[in-house]
Amino acid sequence: MRNTPAIDARVAVESGLSTGQGGASAGGMSSLPALTGAQKTKLRGLGQTLPDQVWLGRDGVTPAFVAELGRQLDARGLVKLRFTGGQDRRERAALIAAVAAAVACLEVGAVGHTALFWRPGAAGDRLLGVAVGGD
């Protein structure tokens, strides 16, 4: 089994540095809504036709990766990530949790070497068909 870098320490530092990258910097993880099963199913269905937009290799969750995924989520709302570093199942599960925490997004599905992430906002809410800004 391969040793992976200390993901938790890096994620804690990166998420603590929230410098306005992406649309969820002000609220952080506490402002993320809980999705219903039907909403997750709809997003997974939309994600099946998406190409891989972001790749996560052996370097793990780096500041450059966090910035790029944040930009992709702001532009699209739904992003498919591909793991290219040869991580095993447990490592991928840990990386998915680390990515969701670092980028302030929700993981809506993961199969094999791909994971699907969603962030609320103009692009993300449009995918679900809800009004942006609430009431």
42: domain range? Answer: 7-16+37-125
Give how many domains the chain has, as a whole number.
Answer: 1
pLDDT at 105 (0 to 100): 94
Q: Tokens for 73, please give them.
A: 């989520």
Is 94 a member of any domain?
yes
**CATH code of the domain containing 85:** 3.30.110.60
Is 75 a member of any domain?
yes
Is 2 a member of any domain?
no
Is 22 a member of any domain?
no
The span from the CA of 30 to the CA of 101, in Å, is 10
pLDDT at 121 (0 to 100): 83
Q: Tokens for 104, please give them.
A: 């302030």
Average pLDDT over residues 97-101: 95
pLDDT at 110 (0 to 100): 95
Closest C-alpha among 55, 50, 48, 64 to residue 103: 64
pLDDT at 130 (0 to 100): 64
Is 107 a member of any domain?
yes
